[in-house]
Structure 1
Amino acid sequence: MQRPFREEISDIRPASFGKRLMSMVYDGLILISIWLGVAIVGTMINQGGVISPLGRAAMQSAAFCCSFLFFGYFWTKNGQTLGMQAWRLRVQTFDGQRISWTQALIRFLCSIVSWIPAGLGFLWMLVGDERLTWHDRWSETSVVSLPKREKKKKSGR
């Protein structure tokens, strides 16, 4: 079921590479804090001892799942992670709707694939006219740049 966004914005254009990169830096810092939280919980569960290989695998799996839940929640809720909000970006379907959890999962997993060949999947947006990365194409989503909100002027007395 497609869900539209609350506001209808007419001046939407594809996001620039620079804005997308800066948004990833912001979200990367948040991810690091999430991973630290998972590591702290894992260490507490292990009572501060050396974590076994099985425990390490469980902790890495938990960090991976928490990372997906972070992105999936924000992408499906309002199309924006915290970094995307700061840079006025939004992920949406090709027809301007909110993405589904399935699309979020495809986007998340395929973004890992986009990083593997030295980030070529991300750089691909610089080549095409549509400005889509590999994971945009595979998940049938796009990242758009939202216009600045106009501030309402106070009535002067």
Structure 2
Amino acid sequence: MNSIKIASNTKRFINWIIDSISISILWFILLPGIVIVLKKVGLLENLKEGQTMSLEFTILPIAFFYYIILEGILQTTLGKQITKTKIIRLDNKKVNFIDILLRTLCRFIPLEQLSFLSEKPIGWHDRISETRVVSK
């Protein structure tokens, strides 16, 4: 681990902002289709025109697939591309699907973002999956 440069908290925060905006944009693009599907299967019988409050939960699967697809294929996300960072495993082996799946699932731990406020700011999704985000 001595020859690698762990990404700074600033880069990690920028990654989070860019990825959150990207996920939100995807949600807004996909929301009309989601509403149509949910209405067709009878899950939104009482949804009024313009009402989205009950649809906020639909952003979770979009976030899940955003991270699974981008990190799974590229070991990076849009935010990491912009800040020139990538994901590595602590044992120096290639990051695999199980690593990415574990990272992604851990992102949904309540208050996971607060794990960056510790003395050694490494997110739980990094610790638990034994991965790190490093500068390229």
TM range (shorter): 0.7 to 0.9
User: Is the contact made by 1:14 and 1:144 (CA closer than 8 Å) also made in structure 2?
Assistant: yes
**Is 1:71 the counterpart of 2:67 in the alignment?**
yes
User: Is the contact made by 2:115 and 2:122 (CA closer than 8 Å) also made in structure 1?
Assistant: no
Partner of 1:123: 117
**Is 1:139 the counterpart of 2:133 in the alignment?**
no
Amino acid of the structure 2 residue aligned with 1:142: R
SS for the counterpart of 2:108 is helix
Partner of 1:43: 35
| Whole-Å separation in 2 of the counterparts to 1:76 and 1:123 | 27
| Whole-Å separation in 2 of the counterparts to 1:74 and 1:20 | 16
For these two proteins, the number of residue pairs brought into alignment is: 126
| Whole-Å separation in 2 of the counterparts to 1:76 and 1:120 | 24
Q: After TM superposition, which residue ranges in structure 1, 4 or more long, deviate above 4 angstroms?
A: 59-62
User: Is the contact made by 1:77 and 1:98 (CA closer than 8 Å) also made in structure 2?
Assistant: no
- Identity across matched positions, percent: 24
User: How far is 1:112 from its partner?
Assistant: 2.5
Q: So what's the TM-score if we normalise by structure 2?
A: 0.75
In structure 1, the gaps of 5 or more residues are 1-9, 147-157
| Whole-Å separation in 1 of the counterparts to 2:30 and 2:23 | 11
Query: Which of the pair has more CA radius of gyration?
Result: 1
State how 1:1-157 maps to structure 2 within 5 Å: 12-45=4-37, 46=39, 51-52=44-45, 63-113=59-109, 116=111, 119-124=113-118, 127-128=119-120, 132-146=122-136
Report Cα offsets for 1:64-85 as digits up to 9, x if no partner: 2232121112212221101100
User: Is the contact made by 1:31 and 1:67 (CA closer than 8 Å) also made in structure 2?
Assistant: yes
User: Is the contact made by 1:75 and 1:99 (CA closer than 8 Å) also made in structure 2?
Assistant: no
Superposition RMSD in Å: 2.9
| Whole-Å separation in 1 of the counterparts to 2:23 and 2:10 | 20
Provide closer, same or farther for how the CA distance between residues 134 and 43 of structure 1 changes in structure 2, counting only shifts above 3 A.
closer
